[in-house]
Protein backbone atom coordinates (compact mmCIF):
# COMPACT_ATOMS: atom_id res chain seq x y z
CA UNK A 1 0.00 0.00 0.00
CA UNK A 2 1.36 3.39 -1.01
CA UNK A 3 2.11 5.86 1.78
CA UNK A 4 3.18 9.49 1.71
CA UNK A 5 5.92 10.39 4.20
CA UNK A 6 6.49 14.05 5.07
CA UNK A 7 9.75 15.15 6.70
CA UNK A 8 7.77 17.80 8.54
CA UNK A 9 10.43 19.93 10.22
CA UNK A 10 10.45 23.18 8.21
CA UNK A 11 8.20 21.71 5.50
CA UNK A 12 6.25 24.51 3.80
CA UNK A 13 3.88 22.21 1.88
CA UNK A 14 2.21 20.03 4.51
CA UNK A 15 -1.29 21.35 3.77
CA UNK A 16 -0.85 20.89 0.02
CA UNK A 17 0.45 17.35 0.49
CA UNK A 18 -2.53 16.55 2.70
CA UNK A 19 -4.96 17.70 0.01
CA UNK A 20 -3.31 15.54 -2.65
CA UNK A 21 -3.05 12.51 -0.34
CA UNK A 22 -6.71 12.87 0.62
CA UNK A 23 -7.80 13.09 -3.01
CA UNK A 24 -6.01 9.80 -3.71
CA UNK A 25 -6.99 8.23 -0.35
CA UNK A 26 -3.30 7.65 0.48
CA UNK A 27 -2.20 7.49 4.14
CA UNK A 28 0.11 10.39 5.01
CA UNK A 29 2.64 10.25 7.84
CA UNK A 30 3.85 13.63 9.10
CA UNK A 31 7.11 12.96 10.96
CA UNK A 32 8.85 15.46 13.28
CA UNK A 33 10.44 15.98 16.68
CA UNK A 34 7.26 17.68 17.89
CA UNK A 35 5.60 21.05 17.85
CA UNK A 36 3.08 20.26 15.13
CA UNK A 37 -0.68 20.47 15.46
CA UNK A 38 -2.17 17.09 14.48
CA UNK A 39 -4.55 17.05 11.55
CA UNK A 40 -8.13 15.89 12.15
CA UNK A 41 -7.95 14.09 8.79
CA UNK A 42 -8.21 10.32 9.41
CA UNK A 43 -5.70 9.67 6.60
CA UNK A 44 -3.03 11.79 8.32
CA UNK A 45 -0.96 10.36 11.14
CA UNK A 46 1.34 12.64 13.11
CA UNK A 47 4.47 10.79 14.21
CA UNK A 48 6.55 12.38 16.95
CA UNK A 49 10.04 10.92 17.22
CA UNK A 50 12.61 11.32 19.99
CA UNK A 51 14.49 14.60 20.19
CA UNK A 52 17.90 14.45 18.58
CA UNK A 53 19.61 15.00 15.28
CA UNK A 54 18.16 13.11 12.34
CA UNK A 55 15.67 11.05 14.38
CA UNK A 56 12.82 11.90 12.00
CA UNK A 57 15.06 11.09 9.04
CA UNK A 58 15.98 7.71 10.52
CA UNK A 59 12.33 6.89 11.17
CA UNK A 60 11.31 7.70 7.60
CA UNK A 61 14.28 5.94 5.98
CA UNK A 62 13.60 2.74 7.93
CA UNK A 63 10.01 2.58 6.65
CA UNK A 64 9.80 4.16 3.18
CA UNK A 65 10.11 1.69 0.34
CA UNK A 66 8.86 0.74 -3.09
CA UNK A 67 5.51 2.34 -3.88
CA UNK A 68 5.95 5.10 -1.29
CA UNK A 69 6.55 8.82 -1.81
CA UNK A 70 8.72 10.93 0.50
CA UNK A 71 8.76 14.73 0.70
CA UNK A 72 11.98 16.16 2.11
CA UNK A 73 14.63 18.78 1.56
CA UNK A 74 17.23 16.62 3.30
CA UNK A 75 19.59 15.17 0.69
CA UNK A 76 21.05 12.33 2.79
CA UNK A 77 17.50 11.25 3.72
CA UNK A 78 16.51 11.42 0.05
CA UNK A 79 19.46 9.19 -0.83
CA UNK A 80 18.50 6.58 1.78
CA UNK A 81 14.87 6.58 0.62
CA UNK A 82 15.86 6.19 -3.03
CA UNK A 83 18.09 3.25 -2.05
CA UNK A 84 15.01 1.75 -0.39
CA UNK A 85 12.98 2.14 -3.58
CA UNK A 86 10.82 5.15 -2.66
CA UNK A 87 10.06 8.14 -4.86
CA UNK A 88 11.37 11.40 -3.37
CA UNK A 89 10.43 15.05 -3.92
CA UNK A 90 11.79 18.34 -2.64
CA UNK A 91 9.35 20.91 -1.30
CA UNK A 92 9.59 22.82 -4.59
CA UNK A 93 8.61 19.79 -6.68
CA UNK A 94 12.07 18.80 -7.89
CA UNK A 95 12.50 15.04 -7.88
CA UNK A 96 15.44 13.27 -6.32
CA UNK A 97 16.21 10.28 -8.54
CA UNK A 98 18.82 7.53 -8.77
CA UNK A 99 20.27 9.51 -11.70
CA UNK A 100 20.73 12.80 -9.82
CA UNK A 101 21.18 11.91 -6.13
CA UNK A 102 24.95 11.42 -6.41
CA UNK A 103 25.39 14.89 -7.86
CA UNK A 104 23.07 16.34 -5.20
CA UNK A 105 25.15 14.75 -2.41
CA UNK A 106 28.40 15.99 -3.97
CA UNK A 107 27.03 19.53 -4.30
CA UNK A 108 25.87 19.45 -0.67
CA UNK A 109 29.33 18.38 0.48
CA UNK A 110 31.01 21.04 -1.69
CA UNK A 111 28.81 23.78 -0.27
CA UNK A 112 29.51 22.59 3.29
CA UNK A 113 33.25 22.77 2.56
CA UNK A 114 32.91 26.28 1.11
CA UNK A 115 30.96 27.46 4.15
CA UNK A 116 33.56 25.94 6.47
CA UNK A 117 36.39 27.64 4.56
CA UNK A 118 34.73 31.08 4.83
CA UNK A 119 32.79 31.33 8.11
CA UNK A 120 31.96 34.98 7.42
CA UNK A 121 30.18 34.16 4.19
CA UNK A 122 26.59 35.25 4.52
CA UNK A 123 23.53 34.21 2.61
CA UNK A 124 21.02 31.47 2.48
CA UNK A 125 18.72 29.72 0.12
CA UNK A 126 16.21 31.51 -2.01
CA UNK A 127 12.73 32.09 -0.64
CA UNK A 128 9.83 29.72 -1.23
CA UNK A 129 7.53 31.10 -3.95
CA UNK A 130 4.02 30.50 -5.27
CA UNK A 131 5.62 28.97 -8.36
CA UNK A 132 7.50 26.50 -6.11
CA UNK A 133 4.23 25.57 -4.40
CA UNK A 134 2.51 25.05 -7.76
CA UNK A 135 5.40 22.90 -9.08
CA UNK A 136 5.25 20.84 -5.90
CA UNK A 137 1.52 20.18 -6.30
CA UNK A 138 1.98 19.08 -9.93
CA UNK A 139 4.97 16.88 -9.07
CA UNK A 140 3.28 15.25 -6.07
CA UNK A 141 0.20 14.50 -8.16
CA UNK A 142 2.39 12.78 -10.79
CA UNK A 143 4.47 10.86 -8.25
CA UNK A 144 1.46 9.60 -6.28
CA UNK A 145 -0.28 8.46 -9.46
CA UNK A 146 2.86 6.63 -10.58
CA UNK A 147 3.34 5.08 -7.12
CA UNK A 148 -0.25 3.88 -7.03
CA UNK A 149 0.14 2.23 -10.45
CA UNK A 150 3.30 0.35 -9.42
Q: Tell me: pLDDT of 110 over 80.
A: no
- Say how many C-beta atoms besides its own lie within 10 A of residue 93's C-beta: 21
The count of structural domains within the chain is 1
144 in a domain, yes or no? yes
- Domain, as residue range, for 93: 4-121+132-149
127 in a domain, yes or no? no
**Angle between helices 75-83 and 55-63 in degrees, nearest 10:** 20
Query: pLDDT, tens digit, for every residue of 27-79?
Result: 999 999 988 889 999 999 999 999 888 899 999 999 999 999 999 989 999 99
Q: Tell me: pLDDT of 17 over 80.
A: yes
25 in a domain, yes or no? yes
8 in a domain, yes or no? yes
The pLDDT-based confidence of 10 (bands split at 50, 70, 90) is confident
- Output the pLDDT for position 9: 81
For position 18, which CATH number holds? Answer: 3.40.50
How far is Cα 36 from Cα 111, in angstroms, rounded to an integer?
A: 30
The pLDDT-based confidence of 125 (bands split at 50, 70, 90) is low
Instruction: Look at the chain and count its residues.
Output: 150
More confident residue, 116 or 13: 13
126 in a domain, yes or no? no
Q: Tell me: pLDDT of 21 over 90.
A: yes
Q: How many angstroms from the chain centroid is the CA of residue 122?
A: 26
Mean pLDDT rounded to a whole number for the chain: 89
Amino acid sequence: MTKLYIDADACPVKAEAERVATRHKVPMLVVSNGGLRPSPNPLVETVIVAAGPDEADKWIAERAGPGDVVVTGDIPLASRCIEGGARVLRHNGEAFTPANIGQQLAMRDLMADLRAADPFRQGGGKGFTKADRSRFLDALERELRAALKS
